[in-house]
Amino acid sequence: METKAFQAESKKLLDMMIHSIYTHKEIFLRELISNASDAIDKLYFRSLTDDSVGMNKEDFAIRIDLDKDARTITITDNGIGMTAEELEHNLGTIASSGSQQFKTDNELGDDQQIIGQFGVGFYSAFMVAKRVTVYSKAFGAAQAYKWQSEGVEGYTIEETEMDTHGTKIVLELMEDSDDENYSEFLETYRIQGLVKRYSDYIRFPVQMEVSHRKLKEGTEDEYEEEITLDTLNSMVPLWRKNRTELTEDDYNNFYQEKFMDYMPPMAYKHVHNEGSVSYDALLYIPSKAPFDYYTREYEKGLQLYSNGVLIMEKCGDLLPDYYSFVRGLVDSEDLSLNISREMLQHDRQLKLIAKSIEKTIRSELVRMVKNDRDKYEKFFEAFGTQLKYGVYSDYGMHKEELQDLLLFASSRGEKPVTLAEYVEAMPEGQKEIYYASGATREAIAALPQTEAVLAKGYEILYFTAPVDEFAAKQMMTYKDKEFKSVTANDLDLGTEEEKKALEEKQNEHQELLTEMSAALDGKVERVALSSRLKSHAVCLTSEGDLTLEMEKVLNSMPTEKKVQAKLVMELNPEHPVFARLTALQGTDKVAKYAKLLFDQALLLEGMPIDNPAEFSELICELM
């Protein structure tokens, strides 16, 4: 018979399984039981809408058989089964479901992480077995098939006989060694314990023959062995259990297993909701954003169950986009089972559930902001951008919902602040919420425009993410305080006298300023004197809604139409450079100085300059 090779990636994973020093080899049982349960789920779900299946819920079961002499564990299910093609595809190639790209050797961390990351599934059998044989007959098919493998060398598939549909997996255990005891998996109590620990909530009975010692009838001290087929799991799904019965570990294990995350979640929430709509839900916030989170590939959604039966793997309608990071499941009796995807979107019950879940998520986040700040900051690092997009998107429709969940870096210190905290700390006389945009905290702190605001004792929010400023524009105000860029031309910081003095000075030097503005050839609206600069000679500010930072972001998008901020070049009248300019007024040097100053200001803003060669020449000329 022809031995087929595993797909390259599968081979690597398999190899890792076989040589695994993973301490939790026992999870192989959980993985195989989960697969069996999924296979039954598929057929059970079909039976609900298709009478030809001819099975009731009670007819489904998973069975474990132990054979000490043959050193085998056999796991049998009467689920949907696999065709030859499915055996080939599902067991010959790495779990395509995980969609995780297999990492190259040098990226491999410890076993534990990788195994967790993949969810590994079926291949985990090779952590304990030297040979694995899978017998399977797809529901409705006439022919059964046998798949067999002893590891990386490859596998065979051949025809076989089976009475009924389903799958039977036979593991021939490895020999015990000095460090590893595989024989323990042939002990009834050990298997009972494992099923209880990892698979208790599996909704179908996991059965095994268990021998009990019982008193022989008619005697008082004679015992006999009686063998009964016991159901090892309680079959109550975790989410149906009482919160008081469950530990953090229960919730975390369930999450990691179900959603194939190698890290425990950052937070979880178990909801039993009764009222206009009743449902149970388990909601989780992952510790880290999935690698594809900020891409189009990422699909939001919660698993949707109707009365314990999975009807949809990812129901996107249950989560608003800004909470798309939440994972988990919802189970409701109020949903019809044979509802189609299209109908579901218009389902009133589903809408009510979605609303209620959104509220729950929000209040959990609000709670974290207040009472669990360190955790919330970590959360925000991972998913805050999504919340900011939420504020910005749909024309600001959700800003009320989300504004108190935002964190921003600030001039106050290392720790980010909420808007409420910012407003609370505003000194008397401060009317607006000041912000400055830039690539990093350091770059922003060095902006000339921040000097005067900070000198006043006002705090500045540091917008380091491109979306920040757009979110602020969308909010416009927070608690009636307007958001104001420190680079806005109409910053209202000085006293009346100061303003008047500046105006006079401006008039006095108007000719020089016009001369400079002309030299800049339409790049700025005008050149003006400024009261906001302290140590710097020059800065750029913008008139109107569009700031330079926004211009940068917008123009980096692949659109035809480019935008341009209305710029004003502001000069520090107290700076020696300005004194020099006044001395040079009327000479051709003024134009050169104007260009240099403008380019300098651009560089300070982290913007590219139009003509680096000219800039360099001008500097050399001056030097």
Name the one range near ligand ADP by CB under 6 A: 21-29, 47-55, 116-124, 296-304. 116-124
Q: Which of 407, 550, 533 is nearest to 470 (CA)?
A: 550
The CB density around residue 247, as the number of other CB atoms within 10 Å, is 8
Question: Exactly one of 122, 284, 392, 598 binds ligand ADP (CB under 6 A); which one?
Answer: 122
Q: Considering the complex, what minimum distance in angstroms separates the CB of residue 454 from ligand ADP?
A: 54
Compose the 159-178 pattern: x for residues touching ligand ADP by CB under 6 A, - for all others.
--------x-----------
Mapping DSSP to helix (H, G, I), strand (E, B) and coil, where does residue 560 land?
A: coil
Q: Whose Cβ is closer to ligand ADP: residue 35's or residue 403's?
A: 35
Question: Exactly one of 10, 47, 78, 90 binds ligand ADP (CB under 6 A); which one?
Answer: 90
Q: Whose Cβ is closer to ligand ADP: residue 121's or residue 390's?
A: 121
Question: What is the C-alpha to C-alpha distance for residues 291 and 475, in angstroms, rounded to an integer?
Answer: 30
Question: Exactly one of 12, 20, 119, 411 binds ligand ADP (CB under 6 A); which one?
Answer: 119
Name the one range near ligand ADP by CB under 6 A: 80-88, 298-306, 446-454, 525-533. 80-88
163 with 141: CB under 8 angstroms? no
DSSP string, 187-248: SHHHHHHHHHHHHTT-SS-EEEEEEEEEEPTT-SS-EEEEEEEEE-S----GGGS-GGG--H
Name the one range near ligand ADP by CB under 6 A: 7-15, 78-86, 401-409, 526-534. 78-86
- Residue whose token pair is 């502001």: 570
36 interacts with ligand ADP by CB under 6 A: yes
Q: Which of 130, 158, 153 is nearest to 143 (CA)?
A: 158
151 interacts with ligand ADP by CB under 6 A: no
DSSP state of 488: B
Give the sign of the dihedral formed by CA 285, CA 290, CA 296, CA 300.
negative
97 interacts with ligand ADP by CB under 6 A: yes
79 interacts with ligand ADP by CB under 6 A: yes
Question: What is the C-alpha to C-alpha distance for residues 292 and 289, in angstroms, rounded to an integer?
Answer: 8
Nearest residue to ligand ADP by CB is 121
User: How many chain residues are in contact with ligand ADP, going by CB under 6 A?
Assistant: 17
DSSP state of 527: E
349 with 277: CB under 8 angstroms? yes
Instruction: Count Cβ atoms within 10 A of the Cβ of residue 473 and give its class: 0-12 exposed, 13-18 middle, 19 or more buried.
Output: middle
Q: Considering the complex, what minimum distance in angstroms separates the CB of residue 31 from ligand ADP?
A: 6
Name the one range near ligand ADP by CB under 6 A: 115-123, 184-192, 316-324, 487-495. 115-123
Compose the 215-244 pattern: x for residues touching ligand ADP by CB under 6 A, - for all others.
------------------------------
530 with 571: CB under 8 angstroms? yes
116 interacts with ligand ADP by CB under 6 A: no
Question: What is the C-alpha to C-alpha distance for residues 387 and 403, in angstroms, rounded to an integer?
Answer: 9
Compose the 49-68 pattern: x for residues touching ligand ADP by CB under 6 A, - for all others.
--------------------
39 interacts with ligand ADP by CB under 6 A: yes
10 interacts with ligand ADP by CB under 6 A: no
Angle between helices 8-18 and 111-118 (to 10 degrees): 130
Restricted to residues 404-463, the positions that interact with ligand ADP (CB under 6 A) are none
Contacting positions for ligand ADP (CB under 6 A): 31, 35-36, 39, 77, 79-82, 90, 95, 97-98, 119, 121-122, 167
